[in-house]
Amino acid sequence: MMPTEPRRDDHAEGKAPSLLPSQDSIDGTDKKGLALEGSSAAEVIRQKTIQVLSARISLLGVDRSGAYEHYNLQLSNGFPIPPGELAILDLVRQRLPRLRSYHEVGSGLGTLPLMLAHDGFASVGIERDERRHLTATAILRELSTDLPHIESNCRLIGAAFPDAVADLDVSDSIAILTDFVASQTPGDYVRLCCGLAQYRYVLMDLQRFCSKRDSNDEQEQLLGELASYGLSPSTEIVDLESQGYYRLFECKPATNRRALTANVGTSVSSSPAASYAAPTAATVQPPPEQLPVPTAGNAIQIRPPTELAVSEPETERPAITGVHLPPMPKLVQRKRFGGLLGLSALLVIGIPSLLAVAYFGFFASSQFVTSFQFAVRGPSQASTSRGGGASAMGVGAISPDSFVVTDYINSGQAVADVESNVDVRAMFSRPSVDFWSRLPSNLTSEQLNAYWANMVSANFDLISGNVSVSVRAFTPQDSLKLAQTLVAASDEMFRKLNAKAQQNFVRVADENVARAQQQLAAARQALFVFREESGGLVDPNRTAQAGANIVDDLRKQLAALQAQYAAIKAVAANSPMLAPLSAQISSLASQINNEDRSSAPRLKSVTPETLAEYQALELEREYADKQYTEALALRNQAYLTAQNQQSYLALFAAPTLPQRSLYPNRPRAIAAVVLAAAAAWFAGVLIAYALRDHLM
């Protein structure tokens, strides 16, 4: 905000007029022509800033990208370059002497340093907000792909001022403060002013230095404070009204500045009331020609700026022969490895690795392994293997019983069966076994099963159909004894399993025969009852068919005689053969009539309902008869099969006494611990940095 009272008149106070026109003359095309004449820096930096900032906001959000409300609002308005930065760029290009480097304190997204670097000036941007600094670094990286000279001309430092330039020689550089509004403690304010005094020139916005200073009185007070630190105002003024009131300061020679800094550092008060208060004249002893003029009431008056002029570098210092910027890695890359990271690596990697070396190298007990292999074979596998096709490739050797034996060896039932012959608990809990490998005393059955799973392993090979078993123990004799006992227990389990399967198979066959026999008897009894109730009718179909066949035969004979009679009569009407034929025809017709009358009662007894009932009963009898026949055949086959052995364990690799220990594999175990600890530490570091970036 501008002060309510009108700005002081530069001519009335004896000051040189502003070097640049006011805000009204900077707007529109006049501003572009003034600040960017002969330079495309502003448009290039603006377009690249819009591109990178939009991408980082989409990826990280408004706050995490460092845009916050200020830059996010500028982005929504097309991200115009502030008029103050355009004016400063023009001032540097046209009026300021050629300096070693140009430092902007509080550079934000670095648009001003990037524009200066674009036009060939060695620039440095100092920003303590890490998120804005990272976004500015991303903009610089994107610009350097198209304009490589920018990366060599610009350095972006992510640190607070003046610590960021503590190791740099800024005696022939200029510090630029455009919108430096930030709360400062009294000590920080003194360090800030003393840091600015180390530069040759300082260009700052008097309206926005540490706090808002809109009135002329506040700006005059600031001039007095800065003069006490050795910053002498010059005649260079950039008046942008509400956009800023920039004043160029020339600092004291290096020798006087060092003495002034030492004296000022001893006068900082710890009282909150001393915030932004300058040291008294008695404490600071600058040269007489640059001292403020004290007046009544200890008020500080500043000499008219017309008496001060920017000294040409040729009269005070030797000419600068080159540009020296701080090294890129030292200022851009921050230290990532420190004491805390090293301590975490020691705790997560170092200590477990040392413990692993000590345990596996000196304390871990040797473990001996006894292995044996067997296959499950039987009549089905033998017959299948003689065939061709898939069995020729080994698939026919696979038996479901192999999976049964494998699961048995790995189960708790095998532990119980082996314990009946071998004291497993005493074998694995001897005092000579190390603490971590020893079987604890007074453990539950579940804990014993888990320990058994670590010491005994059975695996089934799908290709060969064989079962491989490895048994570990802490002595060779224990390993061999346990393996032999396990072979005997597995064979006994499989024998009992076969016997029970045979018994179940025969029992099911007998039950099927008995059930089929009962069904057949019931069907026959139902058919017998039907015949009795139908008056001795054996088969309704045959009864009805018998009468129909007799009548059909008589009618065929009658038709033949009638045809013969007609033929003879047509040839010889008086033939003696006509009388016998006529008698035969009459006899057959009479017989047909008698047969029809006698078969009517029989046909009436064979109704459709009787015929349907008879067919259903006959079908049930036939089905029961077939089921009974098949059940008898299956029972005969079951008895024949039960007489043969179904399956057996073919042990082709018997257990032998081990000669040397195979476990633990000490080098591999130590390497596994080290690699696992390193992976855990690396993952933890990544998670920690990700959480830190997320929270920031």
Task: Summarize the confidence of residues 563-578 as an average pLDDT.
Answer: 80
Q: How confident is residue 676, by pLDDT bands cut at 50, 70 and 90?
A: very high
Burial of 161: CB neighbours in 10 Å, binned 0-12, 13-18, 19+: buried
Residues 411-456 have pLDDT tens digits of: 989 999 998 888 888 889 888 888 888 888 788 888 888 999 999 9
Q: Which residue has the higher pLDDT, 478 or 496?
A: 478
Does residue 162 have a cis peptide bond before it, meaning omega lies within 30 degrees of 0?
yes
* Residue for token pair 């992510």: 158
* Residue for token pair 């059975």: 458
- φ/ψ of 293, rounded to 5, equals -90, 110
Question: What distance in Å separates the CA atoms of residue 51 and residue 75, rounded to the nearest whole number?
Answer: 10
Q: How confident is residue 303, by pLDDT bands cut at 50, 70 and 90?
A: very low
Task: Summarize the confidence of residues 503-531 as an average pLDDT.
Answer: 80
Tell me the C-alpha to C-alpha distance, in Å, between residue 149 and each of 96, 122, 332, 463.
22, 10, 17, 66
Q: Is pLDDT at 123 greater than 90 in this prediction?
A: yes
Which pLDDT score, from 0 to 100, does residue 585 have?
81
Question: What distance in Å separates the CA atoms of residue 87 and residue 230, rounded to the nearest whole number?
Answer: 25
Q: Which two tokens stand for residue 413?
A: 């039932």
Question: What distance in Å separates the CA atoms of residue 522 and residue 525, rounded to the nearest whole number?
Answer: 5
CB-based contact 250:316 (threshold 8 Å):
no
Task: Summarize the confidence of residues 127-147 as an average pLDDT.
Answer: 91
Residues 87-105 have pLDDT tens digits of: 998 888 888 778 889 999 9
Q: How confident is residue 630, by pLDDT bands cut at 50, 70 and 90?
A: confident
Residues 263-273 have pLDDT tens digits of: 444 433 333 33
Helices 254-265 and 186-197: crossing angle in degrees, nearest 10, is 170
Question: What distance in Å separates the CA atoms of residue 275 and residue 264, rounded to the nearest whole number?
Answer: 14
Which pLDDT score, from 0 to 100, does residue 182 have?
79
Burial of 142: CB neighbours in 10 Å, binned 0-12, 13-18, 19+: middle
* Residue for token pair 């002893």: 285
* Residue for token pair 């309704």: 540
Which pLDDT score, from 0 to 100, does residue 572 have?
78
User: How many Cβ atoms are within 10 Å of 69's Cβ, its own excluded?
Assistant: 9
Mean pLDDT is lowest, of 142-146, 378-382, 581-585, for 378-382
Residues 320-332 have pLDDT tens digits of: 444 556 665 444 4
Highest-pLDDT range among 277-281, 328-332, 559-563, 672-676: 672-676
Which pLDDT score, from 0 to 100, does residue 167 have?
85
Highest-pLDDT range among 6-15, 17-26, 50-59: 50-59
Question: What distance in Å separates the CA atoms of residue 147 and residue 476, rounded to the nearest whole number?
Answer: 75
Which pLDDT score, from 0 to 100, does residue 66 have?
86
SS (H, E, C) 580-616: HHHHHHHHHHHHHHHHHHHHHHHHHHCCHHHHHHHHH
Residues 190-228 have pLDDT tens digits of: 899 999 999 999 999 988 888 888 888 888 888 888 989
Residues 383-406 have pLDDT tens digits of: 444 444 444 444 444 567 788 889
CB-based contact 375:652 (threshold 8 Å):
yes
Question: What distance in Å separates the CA atoms of residue 256 and residue 290, rounded to the nearest whole number?
Answer: 11
Task: Summarize the confidence of residues 582-610 as an average pLDDT.
Answer: 69
Task: Summarize the confidence of residues 270-280 as an average pLDDT.
Answer: 34
Which of 245, 296, 250, 295 lies closest to 1 in space, CA to CA? 245
Which of 551, 626, 564 lies closest to 592 in space, CA to CA? 551
Which pLDDT score, from 0 to 100, does residue 306 have?
37
Task: Summarize the confidence of residues 287-295 as an average pLDDT.
Answer: 36
Mean pLDDT is lowest, of 393-397, 471-475, 545-549, for 393-397
- φ/ψ of 470, rounded to 5, equals -125, 135
Which pLDDT score, from 0 to 100, does residue 386 have?
45
Amino acid symbol at 312: E
Q: How confident is residue 312, by pLDDT bands cut at 50, 70 and 90?
A: very low
Question: What distance in Å separates the CA atoms of residue 589 and residue 524, rounded to the nearest whole number?
Answer: 44
Q: What is the mean pLDDT of the chain?
A: 76
* Residue for token pair 């001996």: 368
Which pLDDT score, from 0 to 100, does residue 606 have?
56
Which pLDDT score, from 0 to 100, does residue 327 have?
61
Which of 508, 517, 515, 426 lies closest to 473 in space, CA to CA? 426
Q: Is pLDDT at 584 greater than 60 in this prediction?
A: yes
Which pLDDT score, from 0 to 100, does residue 199 have?
93
Task: Summarize the confidence of residues 334-340 as an average pLDDT.
Answer: 56
- φ/ψ of 111, rounded to 5, equals -65, -40
| High-pLDDT (> 90) share of the chain, % | 24
Element (H, E) at 247: strand 245-251
Question: What distance in Å separates the CA atoms of residue 173 and residue 116, rounded to the nearest whole number?
Answer: 14
In terms of DSSP bridges, do strands 101-105 and 173-177 run parallel, antiparallel, or are they unpaired? parallel
Which pLDDT score, from 0 to 100, does residue 544 have?
57
Which of 146, 150, 61, 159 lies closest to 111 in space, CA to CA? 150
Q: Is pLDDT at 589 greater than 90 in this prediction?
A: no
Residues 37-91 have pLDDT tens digits of: 557 889 999 999 999 999 999 988 888 888 888 898 998 999 999 998 999 988 8
Alpha-carbon 334 to chain mean position: 29
Which pLDDT score, from 0 to 100, does residue 505 have?
72
Residues sharing a CB contact under 8 Å with residue 469, sequence separation 6 or more, in sequence order: 371, 372, 373, 374, 409, 456, 457, 458, 459, 483, 486
Q: Which residue has the higher pLDDT, 466 or 314?
A: 466
Q: Which residue has the higher pLDDT, 377 or 641?
A: 377
Which pLDDT score, from 0 to 100, does residue 37 have?
56
Q: Which two tokens stand for residue 574?
A: 């008086």
Q: Which two tokens stand for residue 15?
A: 């000051």
DSSP 93-145: HHTS---SEEEEET-TT-HHHHHHHHTT--EEEE---HHHHHHHHHHHHHHHH
